[in-house]
Amino acid sequence: MTDPYRVAQDAADALAAATGVDRHDVAVVLGSGWTSAVERFGSPTAEVLTADLPGFAAATVAGHTGRALSIQSGARRLLVLSGRVHGYEGHAPSAVVHPVRTAVLSGCRTVVLTNAAGGIRDGLSVGQPVLISDHLDFTGSSPLTGPNPDDLAPRFPDLTDCWTARLRALARDLDPSLVEGTYVGVRGPAYETPAEIRTFRQWGGDLVGMSTVHEAIAASHLGADVLGISLVTNLAAGLGDVLDHSDVLRVAGESADRMGSLLADLIERL
């Protein structure tokens, strides 16, 4: 079995060589439709196609461009990953979290994960950002299965503080209107049934989506602080209109400027 942490270290070394930057401080993963938010972070000093780095799979889903951008933002060096790969594309969990592992091994001690999500909780509206305070993992798999680097991370990590409260508090200081919620991670690619959504609500789920949970686990496992922001791009199955990915991209694109400004301001405060 290939050691995924060794491959991630190789990718981190290749990223440093390609960008001319030995160490990045903050990683930002942009979800579906969030790509234009990167304009708020500043001009990239280097851009790399992630498919050219060791271990990275090519992004195939609309709204995910497959680029790594190195940006100087004040005193922070950002690594912006524009797009991600998903388990429903046929990738193993180790491939899904490989970009995040590469980012942490590149020096990033803070990882910001964004996504487009369906709203489950009453009161959430389309176009509303929600801070992820916890998650339910219904993917049926784990990114930590397989070899474990005991010198880097524990075999059995405690995920109680997987989503860093300090970072959520900083975000609320910037925008007191932000609310928090529990994100339900599912494998996809089919949208959920109304019965599943009713069940997720009963079990405490506020949002649902097909990404992010495994990345958060992998980043926390390696000791990084994690902030998650979901943009409600639709109401979940049975609660609104028929679900369509083009609507997800449209709503995310309409909100990307606001989200980019929030993230840029937050990163300045880290």
Q: Domains of the chain, with CATH numbers?
A: 4-269 (3.40.50.1580)
Q: Which of 116, 117, 216, 219 is catalytic?
A: 116
Is 245 a catalytic site residue? Answer: yes
What does the pLDDT read at residue 33? 64
Q: Which of 8, 37, 86, 95 is catalytic?
A: 86
What does the pLDDT read at residue 43? 87
Q: Which of 142, 245, 254, 261 is catalytic?
A: 245
Q: Which of 12, 24, 32, 259 is catalytic?
A: 32
Is 32 a catalytic site residue? Answer: yes
Tens digits of residue pLDDT in 214-262: 999 999 999 999 999 999 988 887 676 665 667 666 766 666 777 778 8
Is 261 a catalytic site residue? Answer: no
The three-state secondary structure class of 149 is coil
Torsion of CA 263, 227, 7, 82, to 10 degrees: -30
CB neighbour class for 128 (10 Å; exposed up to 12, middle 13-18, buried from 19): middle
Is 86 a catalytic site residue? Answer: yes
More confident residue, 65 or 216: 216
Q: Which two tokens stand for residue 42?
A: 């500043």
Is 210 a catalytic site residue? Answer: yes
What does the pLDDT read at residue 65? 64
What does the pLDDT read at residue 60? 65
CB–CB of 112/183 below 8 Å? no
Cα separation values, 33 from 30, 118, 236, 256, Å = 8, 14, 18, 7
Q: Which CB contacts under 8 angstroms, 24+ apart, belong to 190-199?
A: 191/118, 191/237, 191/243, 192/118, 192/236, 192/237, 193/237, 193/238, 194/237, 194/238, 194/239, 196/237, 197/118, 197/120, 197/236, 197/237, 197/238, 197/239, 198/238
The three-state secondary structure class of 155 is coil
What does the pLDDT read at residue 268? 83
CB neighbour class for 193 (10 Å; exposed up to 12, middle 13-18, buried from 19): exposed
Tens digits of residue pLDDT in 201-217: 999 999 999 999 999 99
**CA gap 18, 145 in Å, rounded:** 30
CB–CB of 137/212 below 8 Å? no
CB–CB of 255/119 below 8 Å? no
Say yes or no to pLDDT of 178 above 60. Answer: yes
Q: Which two tokens stand for residue 267?
A: 């990163």
Is 259 a catalytic site residue? Answer: no
Is 88 a catalytic site residue? Answer: yes
Q: Which of 82, 94, 115, 211 is catalytic?
A: 211
What does the pLDDT read at residue 269? 84
Average of per-residue pLDDT across 114-130: 92
More confident residue, 110 or 264: 110
Say yes or no to pLDDT of 94 above 60. Answer: yes
Average of per-residue pLDDT across 78-85: 89
Tens digits of residue pLDDT in 190-203: 989 999 999 999 99
Q: Name residue 92's amino acid.
A: A
What does the pLDDT read at residue 179? 96
What does the pLDDT read at residue 39? 75
68-82, 141-155, 212-226, 228-242 — which is least confidently predicted? 228-242
Q: Which of 59, 89, 196, 224 is catalytic?
A: 89
Q: Which two tokens stand for residue 54?
A: 């060791």
Would you list the DSSP string of 30-76?
Answer: E-TT-GGGGGGG--EEEEEEGGGSTTPPPP-STT---EEEEEEETTE
Rounded mean pLDDT of the chain?
89
Is 59 a catalytic site residue? Answer: no
Say yes or no to pLDDT of 114 above 70. Answer: yes
pLDDT band at 63 (very low <50, low <70, confident <90, very high): very low
Is 214 a catalytic site residue? Answer: no
